[in-house]
């Protein structure tokens, strides 16, 4: 293949996404010149998540999260935790999709050897509760969420180089509230 043609194609793909405001679902518009699908208005505010993110934990473990740019009606992400000894105990693969009347986050969890965790054989399903250009909150869907004790997940960008993931457990009646897990990741690459 002609190297110059490859360079032109890759350069045209690097055109920034069209960012539309709001969180209501709207059909994606056809791409101009067939180069890149327009971003659905419902997921456009999630563009702040795009990038490669890392967190070095005090125990020597590393957390990595990678989010592709929103395209069409979806964006895709992956997560892994690498222990200090180099072992990766699990991975998570996530899609966020604009559907007819809601935005859905689906996530699968697999062990380091890529076997499905029997407790998580079905994807976890969350729906977007609220969003802005720098924050999105997801809660368990009423229809088969498979979310266990999860109450809420919030992604936010306090600044351009920080992605904050807050995982809130569901409070059980009669028990003290558990502290949310916070993962403050920095942009890399």
Q: What is the pLDDT of residues 23-40, one digit of tens each?
A: 544 444 454 556 777 999
User: In sequence order, what are the residues at sequence separation of 6 or more whose Cβ sits closer than 8 angstroms to the Cβ of residue 181?
Assistant: 166, 167
CA dist., res. 73 & res. 100, Å (int): 10
C-alpha pair distances (Å), 8 with each of 12, 14, 60, 151 = 6, 10, 42, 46
CA dist., res. 20 & res. 42, Å (int): 8
CA dist., res. 73 & res. 29, Å (int): 10
Res. 9: pLDDT tops 60: no
Total Cβ atoms within 10 A of residue 152: 17
Q: Which residue has the higher pLDDT, 181 or 143?
A: 181
Mean per-residue pLDDT, 41-64:
96
Record the pTM.
0.78
- Residue 22: the pLDDT is 43
Report the topology of domain 17-188: Lipocalin (2.40.128)
Mean per-residue pLDDT, 73-78:
97
Res. 5: pLDDT tops 70: no
Q: How confident is the model at residue 114 (pLDDT cuts 50, 70, 90)?
A: confident
Total Cβ atoms within 10 A of residue 183: 17
Q: For residue range 78-103, list pLDDT tens digits in order.
A: 999 999 999 999 999 999 999 999 99
User: In sequence order, what are the residues at sequence separation of 6 or more whose Cβ sits closer than 8 angstroms to the Cβ of residue 88?
Assistant: 80, 81, 82, 112
Asked if 168 contacts 180 with a C-beta cutoff of 8 angstroms, the reply is yes
**DSSP-assigned letter for residue 6:** H
Asked if 39 contacts 72 with a C-beta cutoff of 8 angstroms, the reply is yes
Q: How confident is the model at residue 13 (pLDDT cuts 50, 70, 90)?
A: very low
């Amino acid at each position: 293949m002609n190297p110059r043609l490859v360079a032109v194609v890759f350069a045209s793909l690097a055109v920034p996404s069209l960012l539309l405001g709001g969180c209501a679902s709207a059909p994606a518009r056809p791409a101009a010149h067939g180069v890149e699908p327009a971003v659905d208005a419902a997921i456009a505010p999630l563009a702040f998540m795009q990038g490669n993110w890392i967190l070095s934990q005090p125990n020597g473990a590393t957390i990595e999260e990678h989010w592709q740019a929103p395209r069409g009606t979806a964006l895709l992400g992956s997560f892994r935790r690498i222990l200090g000894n180099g072992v990766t105990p699990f991975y998570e693969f996530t899609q966020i999709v604009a559907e007819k009347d809601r935005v859905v986050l689906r996530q699968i969890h697999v062990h380091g050897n890529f076997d499905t965790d029997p407790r998580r054989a079905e994807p976890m399903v969350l729906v977007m509760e609220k969003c802005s250009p720098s924050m999105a909150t997801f809660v368990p869907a009423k229809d088969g969420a498979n979310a266990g004790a999860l109450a809420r997940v919030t992604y936010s960008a306090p600044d351009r180089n920080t992605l904050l993931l807050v995982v809130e457990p569901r409070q059980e009646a009669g028990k003290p509230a558990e502290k949310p897990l916070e993962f403050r990741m920095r942009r890399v690459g």
